[in-house]
Structure 1
Amino acid sequence: MKIMIADDHQVVRKGLVFFFQSQADIEVVEEAGDGLEILEKLGKYKADVVLLDIQMPNMDGVETAKKMRTHYPEVKIIMLTSFSDYDTVIPAVQAGANGYQLKDIEPDRLADVIRRVHKGETMIDSKAASQLMTHVTGANQKEEQKRLEELTLREKDVLKQIMKGHSNKEIARNLFITEKTVKTHLSNIFSKLEVHDRTQAALFGVKYVKEEK
């Protein structure tokens, strides 16, 4: 798996590069100090996953993610940042980030997140999601809780699996159902919760669903 790293702090970039050298299946093909530079390098080199810092000079991570979604839709995006506030998380998710992780993450955990995002999963740091949900108004909470009540018990089980970052195949195995049935449940969940994708469903779940340990 080929990855690129964009962060304006050279120490952070070098530290990540050094760590990933110990991972046999992850290769850092390029690094950059801002969004413009990473977009330029994506035009020259192939990458499967890009780690983006949020705050960078010339072009920040959110704007970079938007342009990547337009020009390089096949590349997975993981925001790796120090910020977990509402005004940072929401724009990042809306820009198309497949993952949102804080820089205090353990290196081995980050490597696992990259692998899972590469496979198509969405990985949102729980602290970022929890901080995000504290900004929801009471009125919105009542409306959204009403939507949640429309889910069947099995659909809630599937939602909990989404919150854990599981793929359709893993959900099918864990709940002893077929992948086709999982897709049907996902379609129903998206419709009832009025969300568009797994990321939004997972964020919704963090607000209201008690995840089993």
Structure 2
Amino acid sequence: MIRILLVDDHKIFTEGLYSILSQEDDIEVIGECQNSSQTFEMLKKTPCDVILLDINLGNESGLDLCKSITDQFPSVKVLAISMYHEESFITKMLKNGASGYLLKNTGRQELLKAIRCVHEGETFQSKEVTDIILKGLSRQKQQTKSIYQIKFTRREREILDLIGKGLTTKEIATELFISDKTVETHRSNLLAKFEVKNVAGLIKLAIEYGYLK
């Protein structure tokens, strides 16, 4: 038997879920909660296998509640079910310990499949959620690719190497037989190309993307 706790501040939604889940022989809904205090009170006194958790709980965040639940009750699986389809919400919920993420427009069969999957220790995301995550990864890849494709002049490349070695503007000018002002101009160009505000950020990205060792 899969013991389910419903956590959502919309009573009509939890009642709808209860109506669906109560028809299943292998699922038991142990309760409905609207906030974190009710949730923890329930978890302390009643065994639970899977929590269906919304992100928006009125004045509280389901993101934070998810982390608290998985930290304090590691055997309990959290399945997020939310109207939010932004990648940032999805990835944060998964990072905070959720075993799966569904959108509230999901169908009955997909909901039941997700519950049974996370109960068995697997992860589950609906196709729509998976597509959102993949698009986010593709965006990140494109951003990374654009960093790799930064084009430098020969002088900018030389100055970047010397900055990476810790040389000051005056030391770089002496090394390359150019003026301090010229060094500063090239440094400003490098900051702009890496889209950072200072030398620390420049060095960090240059190392991260293989321009400096």
TM-score bracket relative to the smaller structure: 0.5 to 0.7
SS at match of 1:90: helix
1:128 corresponds to = 129
Give me the whole-angstrom Cα distance separating, in 2, the residues matched to 1:140 and 1:36. Answer: 42
1:26 corresponds to = 27
* 2:144 maps to which of 140, 146, 168: 140
1:54 corresponds to = 55
- Percentage identity across paired residues of the two chains: 28
TM-score computed with the length of structure 1 as normaliser: 0.63
In the alignment, structure 1 residue 93 sits paired with structure 2 residue 94: yes
Give me the whole-angstrom Cα distance separating, in 1, the residues matched to 2:45 and 2:20. Answer: 24
2:106 corresponds to = 105
1:39-82, Cα deviation, whole Å (9 max, x unpaired): 22111111000000011124321111100111100000100011
Unaligned runs of 5+ in 1: 144-213
Q: Are the structure 2 counterparts of residues 40 and 142 from structure 1 closer, same or farther at C-alpha, using a change threshold of 3 Å? A: farther
2:10 corresponds to = 9
Q: How many residues align?
A: 143
**Aligned residue type for 1:25:** D
Give me the whole-angstrom Cα distance separating, in 1, the residues matched to 2:143 and 2:19. Answer: 48
Task: Report the Cα offset of residue 35 of structure 1.
Answer: 2.6
Q: Are the structure 2 counterparts of residues 15 and 119 from structure 1 closer, same or farther at C-alpha, using a change threshold of 3 Å? A: same
Q: Are the structure 2 counterparts of residues 25 and 139 from structure 1 closer, same or farther at C-alpha, using a change threshold of 3 Å? A: same
SS at match of 1:43: helix
Q: Are the structure 2 counterparts of residues 140 and 8 from structure 1 closer, same or farther at C-alpha, using a change threshold of 3 Å? A: same
**Aligned residue type for 1:68:** I
Give me the whole-angstrom Cα distance separating, in 2, the residues matched to 1:97 and 1:123. Answer: 10
Give me the whole-angstrom Cα distance separating, in 2, the residues matched to 1:15 and 1:7. Answer: 11
**Aligned residue type for 2:144:** N
Give me the whole-angstrom Cα distance separating, in 2, the residues matched to 1:51 and 1:142. Answer: 39
Give me the whole-angstrom Cα distance separating, in 1, the residues matched to 2:130 and 2:25. Answer: 31
**Aligned residue type for 1:48:** D
Larger radius of gyration: 2
**Aligned residue type for 1:81:** S
1:106-134, Cα deviation, whole Å (9 max, x unpaired): 11221121011100110012212322333
Give me the whole-angstrom Cα distance separating, in 2, the residues matched to 1:58 and 1:38. Answer: 15
SS at match of 2:6: strand
Task: Report the Cα offset of residue 15 of structure 1.
Answer: 0.7
Q: Compare relative contact order (CA 8 Å, sep 6+) and give the higher one, 1 or 2.
A: 1
In the alignment, structure 1 residue 69 sits paired with structure 2 residue 70: yes
**Aligned residue type for 1:69:** T
TM-score computed with the length of structure 2 as normaliser: 0.63
Give me the whole-angstrom Cα distance separating, in 1, the residues matched to 2:34 and 2:104. Answer: 16
Equivalent residues in 2 for 1:193-212, closer than 5 Å:
none
Native 8 Å contact 1:20 1:27 kept in 2: yes
1:160-206, Cα deviation, whole Å (9 max, x unpaired): xxxxxxxxxxxxxxxxxxxxxxxxxxxxxxxxxxxxxxxxxxxxxxx
Q: Are the structure 2 counterparts of residues 112 and 129 from structure 1 closer, same or farther at C-alpha, using a change threshold of 3 Å? A: closer
